[in-house]
Chain A
Amino acid sequence: MLTFVARRLLATIPVLAIVAIFVFLMLRLTPGDPAAVIAGDYANSQQIAEIRAKLGLDEPLVTQFFIWAGRGLQGDFGESFFFKRTVAELILQRVEPTLALAVCTIVLAVLIAVPLGVIAAHRHGGWIDRIVMGFSVLGFSVPVFVVGYLLIYVFAIQLSWVPVQGYRSPVDGLGDFFQRIILPSCTLAVIYIALIARITRASVIEVLGEDYIRTARAKGLTERTVLMRHALRNAAVPIVTVIGIGIALLIGGVVVTESVYNIPGLGRLTVDAVLARDYPVIQAVILMFSFVYVLINLVIDLAYSFFDPRIRY
C-alpha cells in the first residue's frame, strides 16, 4: 500500500516535469527574442535588456530552464507587464471566483448526472434511457457559450430571475453569491453532466449483469436498494475516474464561462493575458491549471486504494 502511494507519487514527477519543460519551451522556441516577447509591445530597449539579464537569457537553454523552474517552485513567476504586479499575486487574487465556480459546477453536475445515469441504466433501452443518451450527445455538441447566452437570455433577460452577469464573493452574502453563480454553474455543468451521465450509465449497466445483483434481487431487496447500494457502489470507480478526467473539460469551460458571465477569475485572467500578450501570466496559468489537473487525478487514483479494497497494486 505505502509502496503503491510512493510509486504513484514518483510517477507524477516526470509528468509534471515534462509539463514544465513544455510550457518553458513554448515561449523559447517561438521565433524572435523571448525577452522582447515577454516585455510586450511597448517596452524600450533598456527594459528588454533588464528582462534578458533577469531571466538569464544569455545562459544555455538548460541553465535557463533550471533558473525558471527554480523560481517557479518558489512561487516566483515574474511580473505581469500588463497588470503591473507579480504574477503570483495576480493569480492568488483570481483564484476564489474560479474555485467557487468549479466547486458549484462539480456538485451540481454530480447531483444531476449520477441519478440520471443510474435511471438510464435501470431503464436500459427504454425511452428515459434514450432521452438521457440523447441529451448526453447534445451536451457534448452545444458550445459552452451558446448554452451560456441561452440561459442568460431566458433566465436573466426574459424572466429577470437573476442578474445578467458579474460575481459576488460568498463572504459578502450567500444570497447574492448564489444568485450570480447559479447560471454560470449550470452553463459549465452541461458538458460535465453529459460526460458523467454517460459513464455512470455504462458502468451501472455492466454491474447490473453481475451475479450479486441477481442475488440481491432474489433476496427481495427493493429495486432502489439494489441500484443505490449494490450497483452504484460497485460502479463507482469509473464514475469517479471520469469526474477527475473531466476536470480538463471543466478548465477549458471555465475560460469561456468566465468570459461570458464577466467573472473575474483565472479564466478571464487567461483571456485578458492572451489579448494583452502578457506571457509570464499565460505561462503561469497554463502551468498552474495543468498541475492542478494532474494532482487531482493523483488524489483520485490514491483514493481508490483506500475506498476499494479489491484494488491491489
Chain B
Amino acid sequence: MTAQTDEQVDIAAAAAAAARKPGIFRRMGRSQSVIIGAALVGVMLLIAIFAPWLDTIDPAQIDPTYRNRKPGVERMITLPGGEQVRHVYWMGTDSLGRDIYSRVIYGARISMVVGVTVAAISVVVGLFIGLISGYIRWLDGVIMRVMDGLMAIPGILLAIGLVSLWGAGLFTVILAIVVPEIPRVVRLVRSVVLSVREEPYVEAAISVGTPTPLILVRHIMPQTMAPIIVQATFICASAILVEAILSFLGIGIPPETPTWGNIMAEGRVLFRIHPHNIMYPGVFLAVTVLAINMLGDGLRDTLDPRMSKRI
C-alpha cells in the first residue's frame, strides 16, 4: 500500500471519527447517570491512588493498647520516621487496634484493582472465544455447550469452589471471579458476530480474499465494542461485590490485607457494640458499586439502546 492511500484511509477514519465522536460524547454528557456515576468512580479512583496522602497511617499497624475505639478519637502517634503527630481515628479502631479509616481508604485500592482487572481479563478472553465461536461455525456448537455448562453453575459458588482449590490470594481471587464471567461475554460477543457476519461489507471483505483473522479484527470486532464496554462496567461492579463477599466469608484475600470485605469480616465479632466497623466499609463498597452500575446503565442507554434488559 502506498503512503498516499494510507493517508487517505487515515483522513477518512478521522472524518468518520469526527462525525461520530462528538455525538456520542455529547449524548453521554447529557446522561445524568453517566455524569454522576463517572464522577463517583473518579473520586474512588483518586482515593485509591492517593491513599497514602489522605491522612492515613499504616493500615496493617496493630496496636494492642488502642483496640475498639469509637470513631473520632484522636491521640499522638509516632510515625515510622520517629516524629510525633496528632492522628484522628475518623472511623475508630478495630479489635486489633488498627485504624479503620486507613484500612477503608487503602481497601479502595484492592477493590479497584480487582474490578478493573477482572473486567479486562474477562473481556479479552471472552472476546477472543466469542469471535471464534460466532465466526467459525464448526467450533460454535462445542464452545457454546461448554459455555452453557459453565453458566449453569451459579457464579459465586463457582468462584468459591475455585478459590478453595487454588488457595486464597489476590491473583487467585481475580481468576476465580473471571471464570464465571467469561461465558456471559462470550454469549454477548457471539450474538453480535452472528448478526454482523451476514452484512454486505463482511461479504465484500471475504470476496476480496481478506484472511479470516483480519476480517474478525478489522470488520467484526469494532461492532462488538459498544456492548462490550457496557458489559465490562457491569462485570467490574459485580467483581468488586464478589471479591468483598469472598473476603467477608473469610475465603478470599488473606485477612491482614486491608480490603472492604476483610474489614467487615473482622467487624462481625463485635458488631453489636461497634456496628460502624461493618457500616463504614459497607457504605464505601455500596457507593462504589452503585456508581459503576449507574455509569453502566447510562452508557448502555447512550451506546447501545437495544440492550435495554440486563440480567
Contacts and interface: CB of A to CB of B under 8 A. Distances in A.
Partners in one complex: yes
Given A152-B271, A195-B311, A274-B163, A143 B157 contact: no
Given A15-B152, A144-B245, A138 B165 contact: no
Interface in B169-213: none
B226 interface: no
Nearest to B267: A149
Interface in B142-165: 145-146, 148-150, 152-158, 160-165
B279 interface: yes
A137 interface: yes
A256 B161 contact: no
B285 A18 contact: no
Contacts of A26: 161-162, 165
Contacts of A294: 152
Contacts of A21: 149
B308 A271 contact: no
B286 A149 contact: no
B264 A145 contact: yes
Among B154, B275, B310, residue most surrounded by chain A Cβ atoms (within 10 Å) = B154
A275 B250 contact: yes
A157 B271 CA distance: 10
A143 B285 contact: yes
A289 B157 contact: yes
Contacts of A286: 153, 157-158, 161
Question: For chain B, which range describes its interface: under 10, 10 to 19, 20 to 34, or 35 or more residues?
Answer: 35 or more
Kindly state the interface size class of chain A when it binds its partner: 35 or more
Given A149-B282, A202-B309, A270 B157 contact: yes
A22 B308 contact: no
Contact of A290 (B145, B154, B286): B154
Interface of B: 145-146, 148-150, 152-158, 160-166, 237, 241, 244-245, 248-251, 264, 271-272, 275, 278-279, 282-283, 285-286, 289-290, 293-294, 297, 308-311
A271 B249 contact: yes
A40 to B, nearest CB: 12
A259 B249 contact: yes
Nearest to A249: B154
B164 A282 contact: yes
A188 B17 CA distance: 46
A30 B244 CA distance: 24
A199 B282 CA distance: 27
Contacts of B244: 143
B139 to A, nearest CB: 16
Q: At the interface, is chain A mostly helix, strand, loop or mixed?
A: helix
Contacts of B155: 248, 252
19 contacts: A17-B149, A18-B149, A21-B149, A26-B161, A27-B165, A141-B241, A143-B244, A144-B245, A145-B245, A145-B264, A146-B278, A149-B278, A251-B156, A252-B155, A274-B251, A282-B160, A282-B164, A289-B157, A290-B153
Contact of B279 (A17, A30, A149): A149
A172 to B, nearest CB: 26
A18 B289 contact: no
Given A23-B161, A274-B249, 11 more contacts: A18-B145, A137-B297, A140-B289, A149-B271, A153-B275, A198-B310, A202-B308, A242-B311, A248-B155, A275-B250, A290-B152
A145 B248 contact: yes
B164 A15 contact: no
B306 to A, nearest CB: 13
A142 interface: yes
Contacts of A141: 237, 241, 286, 289-290, 293
A302 interface: no
Interface in A242-281: 242, 245, 247-249, 251-252, 255-256, 259, 270-271, 273-275, 277, 279
Contacts of A173: none
A293 B311 contact: no
Given A153-B275, A157-B272, A255 B156 contact: yes
Given A143-B245, A149-B282, A199 B309 contact: yes
A126 interface: no
A135 to B, nearest CB: 11
A73 to B, nearest CB: 17
Interface string A152-169: 110001000000100000
Contact of B241 (A14, A143, A238): A143
Given A30-B166, A294-B152, A256 B311 contact: no
